[in-house]
Structure 1
Amino acid sequence: MINAKDLWKKRLGSHYKELNRYLRLMFNDHFSIALFFFLAGLSYVYQQWLQDLPDGFPTAVVLAVLFGLLLTYSPIRTMLKEPDLVFLLPAEFQLSPFFRNGLIYSYIMQMFPFLFVFVAAGPLYFTSFEERSISQYIVIGAVIVVLKAWNVLAHWWELNSRDGVSGWIDAGVRFLLNGLTIYFVVIGEAWLYAAITTVLLFGMMMYDYSLAKKRRGVAWDLLIVKEQARMQAFYRVANLFTDVPHLKQSIKKRHWLVRLLKQPVPFQQDKTFDYLYRITFIRSSDYLGLYLRLLVIAFALIYFLPNLWMQLGFSFLFLYMSGFQMVTIWHHHRQLDWLELYPVPFTYRKQALLKWLFQLMLCKTFVLGIAFLISGNFIGLALVWLGGGLFSYWMVYSYFVKRMTV
């Protein structure tokens, strides 16, 4: 006889232990300071933007899209593992409390991002609707709380229906109905339409329930795949800060980018690792995306911030963050023994990565300088190009070189 509640407590405790193991390393002093300055800068930009908010700004549409996406995305955490297909599947009829706790946990955890976005969207709401009271905004929050519960249940039943074709359709229809409901509630003059879309959303949830009932049982294999995918996503983020042995690397071909970056590398023995680290940066699912995201965020902050010193501060902050994340390429191939069989001295390997990191940071420095150029700030352009070049050289050949150990 399996005690489903005790099983859930053990799985949840193990899950928290695994998360804390990496979160302590991720939120170290350097990253915490960088995150603090990033949020402070973002808050400043947001405040300045609200002061110049146009009269006809579509606040209701923005909130509808934002909350609609957050409502529709309702992943279910079950804490299931691959061996459960063998050991727990026969006892499925005893595990109703286990899955019920998974739904409750998923709902509660997904309310934290909503709380953050809800509070952050408050200034935008009250700037656009100055005559509104706090109680009216709280009504929107109450509607979101109810709709989120419906979306979690609808997604759970849709998963267990095993109807793969309707998955995207189900999400698309729910997003449309969620967004329209929030839109009608925000404008405050279309309660009849809000009621209609709410009833339609409830009907969508009941339709998913009917499909799940016809299928009967829990989609164990699908739930396990989803659970593994979410943990792998967390491991990929954690791997940017520390070594994660559980990470399963995914590779993307990106032929044209690989051809573009490998062409300058001559076909010589001492350039072996120059070639390897370039294609690792391009084809891995981690590095290129993170590099580009940080570049876009830094470019936007520099362009919109009005203060030169804040612009320069964020320029160097994002240069540091980018280089700090990219240096983990050094350990990317740590499990490949054949790398040690290359007839290439170890110093070539280290020099190749240091050179590539320096080039990446110089490239980012150049692009950030373009943001100053577009805004007409030539002093900032000169300072970021000169200071960024010197900072990049110091980071790579003085700071990063100490972190590159076998």
Structure 2
Amino acid sequence: MNSLYDVWRTRFTHYMGEVQKYMRFVFTGHLAIVIMFVLGAGGYQYSQWLKVASSDFPAIWLAAAIMGILLGFSRPVTLIRKPDEVYLLPLETKLPQYFNKAIKYTLGSQIILVVLLYLVTWPMLRQVAGLKPSTILVGLVAALLLKWWNIHSEFSYRWAYKGHHVWMDRIVRMICSFVLIASILYIQFIPIIIMILIIFSYPMFWKKKLQETPFPYEHFVRLEENRMMAIYRFANYFTDVPNIHGSIKRRAWLDWAYKLIPYAKQNTQAYLVFRTFVRTDDHFYLWLRLTVISALASAFIHIPVAIAVVVAALAFATAIQLKQALTTSTDFRMDMLYPLPENSRKKATVKIVRYTIIIQAIIVLLAGIGTPYFYFQGLIALIIGELTLRLSK
């Protein structure tokens, strides 16, 4: 490598190849259809609300709060690896070359969401708050500049304090971003000047410490490992990702649920599968996440066809993924030492997944009370989930 620019270019190429390799399994045609229906239904509901929204609605405060929270989450992408703790030590004085590239990529990858979300709030600011387009545009420019400041600030804070209490730093930056955007939209010059001074002086609190602190490789390595693991875990919901092992938690608050399975020899596998589902983060949070999304869609989307498509797709995803995950586990289990029938685990898995589908259908049904044809939503989730269990291998 001739320079750290070459190091970044090589790692970035490998990183993009790794992400694209798995994301092509995630964003398939089925998911695209679901996203299209969700965005279409959400946009329709949003446009209908804009027609009846009261002028007293705090549109500016809401838009500023959304942007402030989004801007506060500005985790830097450095692509630092564990061997760098040794091999980059001789080049530590040249690290700014590498991190300039990293921060530019972080800004480019995160600013897209800022622009999209701000454009979503534009009609609300225009129709409900009655702001001029020029004022809204100035707010957008401010949001883009604040994103740059947030990324630099979080990177510097993590360097200076090795990531300790980073949530306190985020809360401060969220508040600063929120107040500045709200002041700009309200055209309050004195608060704008005060917030600009605070924003410029805020990084000065740890500037000296930053200069005296060597680069914390361990923290940034752990940060990158967690970020990549999150990508792999997300992709693992759609395809098999090698070397992914879900973390295990007891979840003592669900201990009572084990008693729902009668104590009997024929229920051995059902008990083990249910215990695996409850305690494995990947399985439990997969079901929880899809159920929550389905319930929210049922509660807030008032277009029957759109609700039916979303609920059916999520019920299918829940059933097929849980069945495959709980059936094809390659981990060693104590039940492998006992002479149980070969297909007992598959039957137990179907039984447990059926219970999760029933619970999901009930939650969707309750969430949709008050919406048109709400009684069909739970029925659709139940039917699609059962058909998936019966027809899938």
Pair in the same fold by TM > 0.5: yes
- Percent of matched pairs sharing the same residue: 25
- Corresponding position: 1:251 with 2:229: no
Q: Distance in 1 between matches of 2:298 and 2:333?
A: 44
Change (3 A) 1:366 1:167: closer
Measure the CA separation in 1 of the matches of 2:361 and 2:192: 49
In the TM superposition, what is the alpha-carbon distance from 1:360 to its structure 2 partner? 1.2
Pick closer, same or farther for the CA change 1:229–1:286 going to 2, 3 Å: same
Distance in 2 (alpha carbons) for counterparts of 1:169 and 1:314: 37
Q: CA deviation at 1:358?
A: 1.5
2:287 aligns with 291
Q: In the alignment, which residue of structure 1 is the partner of 2:51?
A: 51
Matched, 1:351 2:347: yes
Aligned residues: 393
Q: In the alignment, what sits opposite 2:39?
A: 39
Match of 1:183 in 2: 182
Please report the TM-score for the alignment, with normalisation by the length of structure 2. 0.92
Residue 252 of structure 1 and its aligned partner are, at CA, apart by 2.2
CA spacing shift, 1:154–1:35, aligned 2, 3 Å: same
**Is the counterpart of residue 84 in structure 1 residue 84 in structure 2?**
yes
Question: Offset at 1:239?
Answer: 1.0
1:132-281 correspondence to structure 2 within 5 Å: 132-162=131-161, 165-188=164-187, 190-215=188-213, 217-257=214-254, 259-281=255-277
Offset from partner CA, 1:35-54 (integer Å, 9 cap, x none): 22222222222222222223
**Matched-pair contact (CA < 8 Å) for 2:162–2:216:** no
Q: Supply the AA of the counterpart residue of 1:246.
A: N
Instruction: Give me the whole-angstrom Cα distance separating, in 1, the residues matched to 2:219 and 2:246.
Output: 21
Task: Please tell me whether the aligned partners of residues 281 and 329 of structure 1 are also in contact (alpha carbons under 8 angstroms).
Answer: no
Most deviating of 70-79 and 317-326: 317-326
Q: Which runs of 5+ in 2 are unaligned?
A: none
Measure how far apart 1:376 and its partner are: 7.0
Answer yes or no: is the 8 Å Cα contact 1:4–1:96 preserved in 2: no
More moved, 385-394 vs 16-25: 385-394
Q: How far apart in 1 are the matches of 2:378 and 2:145?
A: 51
Q: Is the 8 A contact 2:269 2:345 kept in 1?
A: yes
**Letter aligned with residue 111 of structure 1:** I
Q: Distance in 2 between matches of 1:241 and 1:298?
A: 18
RMSD: 2.3
Kindly provide the amino acid, as one letter, of the partner of residue 242 in structure 2: P
Equivalence for 1:8: 8
1:64 aligns with 2:59: no
Q: For 1:32 and 1:327, how far apart are their aligned partners in 2?
A: 23
For the residues of structure 2 that align with 1:61 and 1:72, how far apart are their CA atoms?
16
SS at structure 2 position matched to 1:76: coil
Query: Does the 8 Å CA contact 2:41/2:303 hold for their aligned counterparts?
Result: no
Amino acid across the alignment from 1:241: F
Q: Which residue of structure 2 lines up, in the alignment, with residue 370 of structure 1?
A: 366
Aligned partners of 1:201, 1:281: CA distance in 2, in Å? 47
1:29 offset after TM fit, Å? 2.1
Corresponding residue number in structure 2 for 1:392 = 385
Q: Deviations over 1:270-295 (max 9, x none)?
A: 43332232222222223333333333
Report the Cα distance in structure 2 between the residues aligned to 1:79 and 1:200, rounded to whole angstroms.
Answer: 31
Alpha-carbon deviations, 1:165-204, whole Å to 9, x = none?
553332222121111111111222x121022112101111
Contact 2:308–2:377 at 8 Å: present in 1 too? yes
